[in-house]
Structure 1
């Protein structure tokens, strides 16, 4: 069995090892796709808390049940699943607790199982945002996370979603996937767009998914009194924004960080898979042996979701 270990800098080592055997209550999964997470890129580049080396990363993955340990009755060999093992997805196979596997609905491509982990975070963000019925929402950042936020928000309670995104291709895709307006924040008129769309009141909820401090500041300036800002994108350790605490207090704002979705979020995200347009969000596919190249592409920010796996190309 092959696995990719991060050994420091921008280097990975492809290792060969024995096929893992599932113990009682465990399942072995044949990994088909693992998503490159921007948090992993930040860790590699020294922008977040460092981890011990070598590291077996890869927490966004899915595949097919290949072998079942004793006492597992809820899964069958060949079943496509999303995995909540926390790591180990950059490999041919992975073993983990059966309770951390979530079957994919019929007809869903097995590669889309790699999208369930980030989608679980987004499900949590949309649920905890408590969007009022018919509300206007703002989304900053139309990357893969943001484009799922857009689809979930517009399919739940939001009557109108405004997207702020500097990349023209991503703005066009956001409009195709349901955004009512897509604005280039570099043109400096986001607050005017929000004011016009909400008759000066501001949006009920803003979702920050870019991981950029300036975008978070835009969100805080754009929400209505009593509104909420949901931090979906991960910001580097050193990221800071100026915050007028009096205005924040007086306006009764809520700023909530979203980190993980738990088992309920995983389960809900898996059930959403057939109802969302996800294939346009996958921009690159790499074989496991080319994982370093996959991370180089992710680092440029030019693509959307990047998958690493076996038989993808």
Structure 2
């Protein structure tokens, strides 16, 4: 089957890749014809850098892990899905017998196999085999494009859950990329009365401002902390979500935080970072860290279907599968105003 293959750093090709020979469908698995696959920042990072932390591309690897598609075959023991169902897929498969999985923290199981994380292949290809337990039916009013957004949305919902948001809280999201914006949407859905979003891209901040009671702040043009203190009578925000992955931004997370507030670290940091422990101490700040997500895919699908969260404004560009290499080249250039690019496969 033809697939988008990362041969090595900065070398992508669309070519035949015989992965289907290695994919045996078991009784609890389904085969899915892929429809839409999102381009994630991690996919782009593997393309431009060849590795993320300890995960290094040492052999050709298929990219892609944000996906939706249609069930075309079912294992003998599958009961919740049938041929023809439109679905989205959770891309990380843990070891069911690991201690982390048995404790309910399957996302941090060291043995988890996650699409497009070396050496595991992704799904920018015509079809894949996946466990029924990690495949979720899409309601009729949720499109394939929205279904492929469930994976990044899951990060935001997991972050909002970790923050323990209370109705009426005010939050700050640092970063208006895809993860930052789904986090802002998740914070509002969780009960925040208002969310500040910071970035340096006015086009992305304009998109953010249209998502609800969101106040955009361009940190190149105004002082974030002063703006937030003025808007909160000097108190600060109850929750800060760090979604930039920038050491400079991470160093400032406690400055806009109110006493007793919570910081949630979302953005991946390639190197160790430092922050002001004294500022955290005098606030008795709670610090949470997230790694992907767990137990939230059904919640995300339900919120998309009900209208509690609308991700359609984040879908800024679509490419045909035959243009996948060009799509990644454009994504790597980080064009202003683009939030989520997706690739649509032939049907």
Q: What's the TM-score, normalizing by structure 1?
A: 0.91
Q: Which residues of 2 match residues 73-112 of structure 1 at below 5 A?
A: 73-85=79-91, 86-87=114-115, 88-112=122-146
Q: Which residues of 2 match residues 132-281 of structure 1 at below 5 A?
A: 132-235=166-269, 237-238=270-271, 240-241=273-274, 243-262=275-294, 264-274=295-305, 275=307, 276-281=309-314
Gaps of 5+ in 1: none
Q: Which residues of 2 match residues 284-303 of structure 1 at below 5 A?
A: 284-302=317-335, 303=338
Query: Per-residue deviation at 1:216?
Result: 2.3
Query: Per-residue deviation at 1:21?
Result: 6.0
Aligned residues: 309
- Partners of 1:2 and 1:91 within 8 A in 2: yes
Tell me how far apart the structure 2 counterparts of residues 18 and 200 of structure 1 sit (CA, whole Å): 57
Gaps of 5+ in 2: 92-113, 116-121
Q: Does 1:61 align with 2:67?
A: yes
Tell me how far apart the structure 2 counterparts of residues 122 and 14 of structure 1 sit (CA, whole Å): 31
Check 1:220–1:73 CA distance in 2 against 1; reply closer, same or farther (3 A cut).
Answer: same
Tell me how far apart the structure 1 counterparts of residues 179 and 19 of structure 2 sit (CA, whole Å): 35
Tell me how far apart the structure 1 counterparts of residues 62 and 279 of structure 2 sit (CA, whole Å): 44
Tell me how far apart the structure 2 counterparts of residues 293 and 179 of structure 1 sit (CA, whole Å): 36
| Aligned alpha-carbon RMSD (Å) | 2.0
Q: Which structure would you say has the larger RCO, counting Cα contacts within 8 Å and 6 or more residues apart?
A: 1
Tell me how far apart the structure 2 counterparts of residues 220 and 298 of structure 1 sit (CA, whole Å): 32
* Residue of structure 1 in register with 2:52 after alignment: 48
Tell me how far apart the structure 2 counterparts of residues 291 and 239 of structure 1 sit (CA, whole Å): 33
- SS of equivalent residue, structure 2 residue 184: helix
- Partners of 1:22 and 1:67 within 8 A in 2: no
* Deviation sequence 1:207-245 (CA, Å, 0-9, x none): 12222222223332111122111122223x13634x232
Tell me how far apart the structure 2 counterparts of residues 153 and 92 of structure 1 sit (CA, whole Å): 35
- Partners of 1:10 and 1:292 within 8 A in 2: no
Report which stretch shifted further, 217-226 or 202-211: 217-226
* Residue of structure 1 in register with 2:345 after alignment: 310
Tell me how far apart the structure 2 counterparts of residues 257 and 289 of structure 1 sit (CA, whole Å): 38
Tell me how far apart the structure 2 counterparts of residues 62 and 294 of structure 1 sit (CA, whole Å): 18
- SS of equivalent residue, structure 2 residue 303: helix
- Partners of 1:129 and 1:230 within 8 A in 2: yes
- Partners of 1:287 and 1:309 within 8 A in 2: yes
* Residue of structure 1 in register with 2:101 after alignment: none
* Residue of structure 1 in register with 2:9 after alignment: 9
Query: Per-residue deviation at 1:311?
Result: 4.0
Tell me how far apart the structure 1 counterparts of residues 69 and 196 of structure 2 sit (CA, whole Å): 35
Query: Per-residue deviation at 1:246?
Result: 2.4
Tell me how far apart the structure 2 counterparts of residues 44 and 228 of structure 1 sit (CA, whole Å): 34
Report which stretch shifted further, 166-175 or 120-129: 166-175
